[in-house]
C-alpha cells in the first residue's frame, strides 16, 4: 500500500492522515483525515475473541462488499461502545452499540473505532488477522488507508470466481457423487463454473462421451492438474533440480497425451494434492509451462514455514513466489460467506474447493454459494487459465494507465480514454521485459516503467506476457517410472470413490 508510518510529528514531512490512540486528543482540531482507535495497553491479558454479529450500514463510507450486510465475526471484547455525536454516522455496530463511526467536515473525514488494532506475534502473518473468521479490526485500518490514498491507489481486476473439485477423472460420466451432466445443467441455470482437478496418473483412459461433454460445455466445466501420481507430499519433497524438472515433464507428457487422444483442453494450473508444494517446486512450475498454481494460504505456510514471504500471505490478489503466481482457495466449510467477502474486498478470485463427497446431497451447496457470489455484482466465472490471466492491479493517471502485473501472462481491458500504458513489475520479480500482444496480432517489447503509446489499430484488449517464460524450458529432467504400489493405490481409491455413488 502507498503509505509510510511515522510516530508522532516529524518536521518537513507532509502528512496525509493521522492515526490517534490518545483519548485526550480532539480529532476535530486536526485538519487532515484521522482515525481514532482504542489503545491496547495490556497485550498479555488481551481478551479472548468471541463470535459477534456485526451489522454494516448501507452507506458509501462502508467499503465494498460489506455495505448493508450482517456478518458473523470474531472480535476482541469491546470495553466501551461509542457514543454517536450529531455529525457522525454509524458504519458498523453490534447489538450492544456502535463500534465504527465517521464524520465529515468539508472534505475531511474523521473515523472513530471502539476496537484496537490486532496484536500480531512474530509467528503470525497477515492472513492470521484478516480472514473469514476475524477481520474487522484490520478492516478499519485498511479502509482508512484506502480513503487517504484514494487518488493513487490501485484498482483490482474484475470480480472472478470458480469452484474446484479435487480428484475426478474422465473415465466415466460420473465420479462418485459427481455427475458431470447434472453439474453442467446446474451451472447453466445458476451461472457458475466448476473446475475439476484431475490426476495425470489417471490420463491413461478417457471416456469418449465424457470428453465430448467437457468439449461442448467449456463455459461451465473445465479441467486442471492435480499433482502427478497423487502421492503424499509429492510436490513438497526435497528433490534435486533435475528430479523436479523430470516430475513436471512427466505431468505435461501425460496431460498432452490425454489432450491429443480425447481432443480436450486442460488448464496449465497446478493444484498440489493436499496443498503440499515447496517454493522450489513453484519456481520450476513456471519453467515447465504452467500459468499458475492454486493453493490455500494455510497450506503454503505449513509447507514453507522458514520462508520470509509467508508473512504477507493473504494480502495480494495472487501470491507472487519466485515470480510465479499462486491463486488462493478455500474449503466449503466454516465461515464461507465472510471468506468470500474478504476475497472480494482484496481483489482475490473467489475459489471454493471440495471433493465429490461434498455433493452427496446434490449440488445445492454450489447453487447457494454461487447465488451469494453473483449477488456481489458482475462476476466473471471461468476456467483457471482465464482467472490466472486476471492477476493484476491498475490505476489511471489522466490518459496514462499503469498496470502492475501479478503473473507471467495477463489479459487487460484498456480504459477507453487511455492513450498510453506503463507496465510495473512487482517487487517479487527480478527486472524482466514484457511482450504486449494486441488484437491485431502485433507483438511489442516493453521495458517496465517506460511509457508505451497506444494506437487505434491495437484495440482495447491486450495480452501482456513475460518474454523470458513465453516458452517452457526444454532442458530434460530425471524421473523414475511410477511405482506399482502408487498405481494400485490410485485404482483402489477410485474404486472406493465410485462405490460412494453406487
Q: What are the residue ranges of helices labelled H in 124-240? A: 126-129, 136-148, 180-190, 208-216
Percent of the chain scoring above 70 in pLDDT = 93
266 close to 230: Cβ distance less than 8 angstroms: no
Mean pLDDT, rounded, for 80-87: 88
Question: Looking at residue 42, what is its pLDDT?
Answer: 46
pLDDT tens-digit readout, 203-233: 999 999 999 999 999 999 999 999 999 999 9
Strand, coil or helix: what is 317?
coil
Whole-angstrom distance, CA of residue 294 vs CA of residue 354: 13
* pLDDT band of 10, cuts 50, 70, 90: low
Q: Is the pLDDT of residue 405 over 50?
A: yes
Mean pLDDT, rounded, for 129-137: 93
Least confident of 8-17, 159-168, 392-401, 470-479: 470-479
Question: Looking at residue 488, what is its pLDDT?
Answer: 79
The Cα angle at residue 464 between residues 476 and 159, in degrees rounded to 5: 110
267 close to 289: Cβ distance less than 8 angstroms: no
- Per the prediction, the chain carries an average pLDDT of 89
Whole-angstrom distance, CA of residue 46 vs CA of residue 149: 31
Whole-angstrom distance, CA of residue 366 vs CA of residue 31: 49
pLDDT tens-digit readout, 18-66: 888 877 777 777 788 999 987 765 444 455 788 899 999 999 999 999 9
Question: Looking at residue 441, what is its pLDDT?
Answer: 84
33 close to 16: Cβ distance less than 8 angstroms: yes
Chain position carrying cell 502421492: 231
Question: Looking at residue 262, what is its pLDDT?
Answer: 96
* pLDDT band of 469, cuts 50, 70, 90: low
- Of residues 25 and 326, more confidence is placed in 326
* Range with the largest mean pLDDT of 74-78, 253-257, 457-461: 253-257
Q: What is the pTM of this model?
A: 0.92
* Range with the largest mean pLDDT of 22-26, 340-344, 414-418: 340-344
Question: Looking at residue 112, what is its pLDDT?
Answer: 93
Strands 434-437 and 443-446: antiparallel
pLDDT tens-digit readout, 235-245: 999 999 999 99
pLDDT tens-digit readout, 151-205: 888 999 999 999 999 999 999 999 999 999 999 999 999 999 999 999 999 999 9
Question: Looking at residue 500, what is its pLDDT?
Answer: 61
H/E element, 92 = strand 88-94
Question: Looking at residue 92, what is its pLDDT?
Answer: 96
Give the list of residues 6+ apart from residue 299 with CB closer than 8 angstroms, or none.
272, 274, 275, 276, 277
Question: Looking at residue 497, what is its pLDDT?
Answer: 78
Amino acid at each position: 500500500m502507498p503509505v509510510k508510518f511515522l510516530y508522532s510529528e516529524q518536521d518537513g514531512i507532509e502528512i496525509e492522515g493521522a492515526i490517534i490512540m490518545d483519548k485526550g486528543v480532539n480529532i476535530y482540531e486536526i485538519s487532515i483525515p484521522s482515525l481514532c482507535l482504542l489503545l491496547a495497553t495490556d497485550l498479555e491479558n488481551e481478551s479472548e475473541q468471541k463470535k459477534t454479529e456485526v451489522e454494516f450500514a448501507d452507506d458509501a463510507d462502508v467499503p465494498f462488499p460489506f455495505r448493508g450486510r450482517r456478518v458473523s465475526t470474531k472480535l476482541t471484547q469491546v470495553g466501551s461502545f461509542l457514543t454517536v455525536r450529531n455529525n457522525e454516522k454509524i458504519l458498523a455496530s453490534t447489538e450492544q452499540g456502535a463500534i465504527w463511526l465517521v464524520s465529515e467536515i468539508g472534505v475531511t473525514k474523521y473515523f472513530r473505532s471502539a476496537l484496537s488494532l490486532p496484536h500480531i506475534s512474530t509467528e503470525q502473518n497477515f492472513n492470521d488477522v484478516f480472514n473469514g473468521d476475524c477481520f474487522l479490526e484490520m478492516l478499519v485500518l485498511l479502509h482508512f488507508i484506502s480513503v487517504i490514498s484514494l487518488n493513487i491507489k490501485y484498482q483490482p481486476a474484475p470480480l472472478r470466481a470458480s469452484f474446484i473439485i479435487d480428484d475426478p477423472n474422465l473415465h466415466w460420466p460420473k465420479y462418485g457423487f459427481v455427475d458431470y451432466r447434472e453439474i453442467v445443467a446446474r451451472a447453466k441455470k445458476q451461472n457458475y463454473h466448476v473446475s475439476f482437478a484431475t490426476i495425470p496418473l489417471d490420463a491413461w483412459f478417457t471416456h469418449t462421451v465424457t470428453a465430448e461433454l467437457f468439449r461442448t460445455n467449456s463455459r461451465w466445466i473445465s479441467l486442471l492438474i492435480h499433482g502427478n501420481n497423487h502421492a503424499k507430499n509429492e510436490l513438497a519433497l526435497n528433490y534435486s533440480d533435475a528430479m523436479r524438472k523430470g516430475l513436471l515433464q512427466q505431468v505435461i507428457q501425460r496431460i498432452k497425451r490425454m489432450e491429443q487422444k480425447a481432443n480436450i483442453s486442460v488448464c496449465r494450473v497446478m493444484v498440489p494434492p493436499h496443498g503440499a508444494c515447496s517454493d522450489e517446486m513453484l519456481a520450476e512450475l513456471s519453467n515447465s509451462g504452467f500459468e499458475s498454481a492454486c493453493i490455500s494460504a494455510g497450506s503454503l505456510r505449513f509447507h514453507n514455514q522458514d520462508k520470509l514471504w509467508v508473512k504477507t500471505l493473504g494480502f495480494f490478489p495472487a501470491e507472487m513466489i519466485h515470480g510465479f503466481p499462486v491463486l488462493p482457495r478455500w474449503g466449503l466449510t466454516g465461515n464461507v460467506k465472510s471468506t468470500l467477502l474478504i476475497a472480494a474486498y482484496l481483489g482475490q478470485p473467489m475459489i471454493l474447493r471440495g471433493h465429490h463427497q461434498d455433493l452427496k446431497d446434490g449440488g445445492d451447496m454450489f447453487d447457494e454459494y454461487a447465488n451469494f457470489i453473483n449477488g456481489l455484482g458482475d462476476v466473471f466465472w471461468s476456467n483457471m487459465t482465464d482467472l490466472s490471466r486476471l492477476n493484476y492491479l491498475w490505476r489511471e493517471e489522466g490518459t496514462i494507465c499503469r498496470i502492475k502485473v501479478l503473473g507471467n501472462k495477463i489479459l487487460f481491458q484498456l480504459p477507453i480514454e487511455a492513450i498510453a500504458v506503463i507496465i510495473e513489475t512487482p517487487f517479487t520479480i527480478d527486472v524482466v521485459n514484457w511482450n504486449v500482444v494486441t488484437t491485431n496480432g502485433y507483438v511489442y517489447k516493453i521495458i517496465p516503467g517506460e511509457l508505451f503509446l497506444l494506437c487505434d489499430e491495437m484495440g482495447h484488449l491486450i495480452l501482456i506476457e513475460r518474454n523470458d517464460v513465453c516458452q517452457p524450458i526444454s532442458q530434460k529432467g530425471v524421473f523414475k517410472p511410477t511405482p506399482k504400489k502408487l498405481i494400485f493405490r490410485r485404482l483402489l481409491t477410485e474404486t472406493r470413490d465410485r462405490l460412494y455413488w453406487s
